[in-house]
Amino acid sequence: MSSLGLGCMGMSIAYGTPDEQESQRTLDRAFDLGINFLDTADAYGRGANEELVGRWLRRRTRQRDAIVVATKFGLRHDAVTGRVTEVDTSAPYVRTACHASLRRLGVDYIDLYYAHRRNPAIPIEETVGAMAALVDAGSVRHLGLSEVSSTTLRRAHAVHPISAVQMEYSLFTRDVVEKDILATCRELGIAVVAYSPLGRGMLTGTLASRDDLNTEDNRRRWPRFSEQNFHHNLGLVRTLGQVAAQIGCSPTQAALAWLLAQGEDIVPIPGTKHQRYLEENAAAADIRLSAEQIAQLTQAIPAEAVAGGRYPAQALERLGH
Residues annotated as catalytic (active site), given as ranges:
44
**Side-chain half-sphere of 289: how many Cα atoms within 13 Å?**
26
- Which H helix or E strand runs over 236? helix 230-247
Per DSSP, the residues of 36-97 read: -EEE--TTTTTTHHHHHHHHHHHHTGGGGGG-EEEEEE-EEE-TTT--EEEE---HHHHHHH
Q: How far apart are the first and last CA of the chain?
A: 28
Residues making up the chain, counted from first to last = 321
Helix runs in 68-171, H state only: 91-105, 124-137, 150-159
Burial class (CB in 10 A: 0-12, 13-18, 19+), 113: buried
Three-state DSSP at 168 gives strand
Measured torsion, CA atoms of residues 173, 174, 179, 181, in degrees rounded to the nearest 10: 80
Cα distance between residue 176 and residue 253, in whole Å: 22
Cα distance between residue 65 and residue 238, in whole Å: 42
